[in-house]
Structure 1
Amino acid sequence: MLRTLILPMTDKPPRTGALAVGTSLAKALTAHVSGLFIRPDPRGAIPFLGEGMTADAIQELCDAAERESLALEAAARTEFEAVARDTGLPMEDGLGTDHASAGWEVVVGLIADHAGRRARLADLVVVPKPEGEAADARGELLNEVLFRAGRPLLMVPDAATSADFGHVVVAWNGRAEVARALAEALPLMHRAAKVSVLALGEEHPDRPSLDQVRCYLLRHGIDAATVSREAPAKREMGQALLAECAGLGGDLLVIGGYSHNRWREMVLGGVTRTIVADAQIPVFMSH
């Protein structure tokens, strides 16, 4: 069950898609969604202010940055509470209730300090797609949640308006990452009118087959269609998956969040990176 959703927010608007989907999903699932605002600490800029500045000048700059940061926090909270109210979510802690609710919390510091750690007690983390002027901050947020939280995430484009996922498409290759995503996305599949499991290329003999996935889902009461396509000859795999998903009419794509370990830093693998960059529909992923 998905009972606790977290919606991390940075000081970089807009946040429309993630807010709309996160709150409407909480309403549909009778869950609690918590808006988590990560407010930059003005003191973090002190080492970059340069030598030769007086203590008073540095303090004045920090005070100005603090005022701006608090104003951004207030604007984000107003936006979150307005969307929650319009969705029918009361602002409360969601403990001991039988209805959906919303809450608000603030942490001060860097995205890397808080996003992944705070998300570990969420059933699902709703993050905005890295796009527009906020792409860098959003990309950092997605990476931190995917690789440090150990929880599934739902990446939402700004243009998304609701969590009415009528056709869920699972991009299956038999690896552990997508197997985990498959299991964690079950509550969303139960709400869908249709589920398709898509595989590109020949099945790997040492990995679960499409037929085995179908049996697994049937035991959960989900009658999924299986779709097998040839591996793309010229098109990159991520682009091919997006094209096939669009051709099937999918409005939610479930994938494994694959990675490379580069100089002790986890970075998105090529297929995942392409899907993150180019997807026009929400994407559910687990690492």
Structure 2
Amino acid sequence: MKSILLPLTYCVDAESLSRVAADLTKRFHASLHGLFIRPDPRMAIPFMGEGLTADMIQQLCDSAEKEGLANAAKAEKDFLALMQAANIKIIKKGEHSDHARARWSTVTGQITDHVGRRARTADLAICAQPSSDMPDSDDIFHDLIFRSGRSVLMVPAGYNREVGRHVMIAWNGRAEGARAVAGAMPMLIGAEKVTVVQIGDKDDARPGLEDVIDYLGEYGIEARARQENVEDNSIGNQLLSLASDMSADTVVLGAYSHSRWRELVLGGVTRHIVAKSKLPIFMSH
């Protein structure tokens, strides 16, 4: 886990995200890229309404540009200060080091212009849990999940504990779950405790608990297996309760085994966990 991406905007509370990112960067001697996306003022021109002169539109664009630059400068200052406090070296693009390091860049445009694409060359992207209090958080999360092809760590607002010390793997034998486990392997190898949970009976055609325990064992991970019966209609709620009961600090989960649209209409495990989790969730789609 050598390359970590932290995409941010002015609407995202970066403090807890940056602290988690700094902790993982130091643990894995990794490179952390803080990526700030600021909106292009010209994109708002079609929505400014009729009756505005060209001079008025230009003034509004200039004002928005000035505000965007100020927001980016403040975000950079906060990020660099936190990295320096964490003893993480600040580098420029193209520089390399054997120690934990971080760099910052600012881009202009929409979230979908940059976030998912930039994450394709990172081992892990860290983002905030989608929340109405942070308007951009939902777009960042879904762009990472559906367009990056990489692992995503979703962190709840205000989370201040360590990540990846006691990991619970939510296993159902599907491809998304297998991809999540593979992506989380560096974290799992360094974890103090790993518990693999399976709820309900699995499809016999899919690998089960014993298979994933054996797979983890090849990496020297002594994981514990836990088979649970379905207790209610919400497997997502049951998984979160189990994670809380066993004092796990991270859940590894395959995201959206069913289509996102089916989950939006009918509900689903991923949708419930994304909305309700108070723990970081390590996901792959």
Report what 1:60 is aligned to.
Answer: 59
**Per-residue CA shift, 1:3-51, capped at 9, x if unaligned?**
0100000111421211100011101100000100011000000000011
Kept in 2: contact 1:22–1:163 (CA 8 A): no
Query: Which residue number in structure 1 is paired with residue 50 of structure 2?
Result: 51
How many equivalent pairs are there? 282
**Structure 2: where are the runs of 5+ without partners?**
none
Question: Are 2:18 and 1:19 aligned?
Answer: yes
* Counterpart AA for 1:281: L
Distance change (3 Å), C-alpha of 1:151 and 1:267: farther
Q: Does residue 9 of structure 1 match 2:19?
A: no
Asked if 1:260 corresponds to 2:281, the answer is no
1:239 match = 237
2:279 maps to 281
**What SS does the aligned partner of 2:105 have?**
strand
Q: Amino acid of the residue matched to residue 275 of structure 1?
A: I
Q: 1:267 to 1:44 in 2, by over 3 A?
A: farther
Matched position secondary structure for 1:197: strand
TM-score (norm: length of structure 2):
0.95
Contact preservation (8 Å) 1:167, 1:249: yes
Aligned partner of 2:133 in structure 1 is 133
- Checking the alignment, whether the CA contact within 8 Å between 2:128 and 2:137 is kept in structure 1 is yes
Distance 1:127 1:272, change over 3 A: same
Contact 1:260 1:268 in 2 (8 A): no
Deviation for aligned residue 1:52: 1.6
Distance between the aligned counterparts of 1:254 and 1:267, measured in 2?
A: 24
State the alpha-carbon separation in 2 of the partners of residues 63 and 96 from structure 1.
37
Structure 1 letter corresponding to 2:229: E
2:12–2:137 CA contact under 8 A, matched in 1:
no
Counterparts of 1:66-145 in structure 2 under 5 Å? 66-93=65-92, 95-131=95-131, 133-134=133-134, 136-145=135-144
Q: Is the 8 A contact 2:6 2:21 kept in 1?
A: yes
TM-aligned CA deviation for residue 270 of structure 1? 2.0
Structure 1: runs of 5+ lacking an equivalent? none
Q: Following TM superposition, by how much is the alpha carbon of 1:95 offset from its aligned partner in structure 2, in angstroms? A: 3.5
The amino acid across from 1:225 in the alignment is R
Deviation at 1:166, TM superposition (A): 1.8
How far did residue 82 of structure 1 move?
1.0
Q: Which amino acid aligns with 1:181?
A: A
Of 107-116 and 11-20, the range deviating more from structure 2: 11-20
Cα deviation, residue 112, structure 1: 1.1
Superposition deviation, residue 280 in structure 1: 0.6
1:157 corresponds to which residue?
A: 156
What is the distance in 1 between the residues matched to 2:87 and 2:32? 12
1:38 counterpart = 2:37? yes
Question: Shift of the alpha carbon at 1:128?
Answer: 1.1
CA distance in 2, matches of 1:121, 1:269: 31
**Distance apart, 1:96 and its partner CA:** 3.5
| Secondary structure in 2 matching 1:221 | coil
Distance 1:51 1:217 in 2: 62
Q: Cα distance, 1:219 vs. partner?
A: 0.4
Provide the aligned C-alpha RMSD in A.
Answer: 1.8
Query: Which one-letter code corresponds to 2:245 in the other structure?
Result: G
CA deviations 1:185-228 (Å, max 9, x no partner) are 01001111100000000122010010011100000110000000
Distance in 2, matches of 1:260 and 1:92, equals 40
Given the superposition, is the C-alpha separation of residues 268 and 153 from structure 1 closer, same or farther in structure 2, using an over 3 Å criterion?
farther
Cα contact 1:24–1:162 (8 A) shared by 2: no
Q: CA deviation at 1:260?
A: 1.6
Q: Contact 1:169/1:250 (CA < 8 Å) preserved in 2?
A: yes
Q: TM-score, normalised by structure 1?
A: 0.94
Q: Answer whether contact 1:177 1:286 (CA < 8 A) is retained.
A: yes
| Distance in 1 between residues matched to 2:244 and 2:161, nearest whole Å | 18
Q: Percent identity?
A: 42
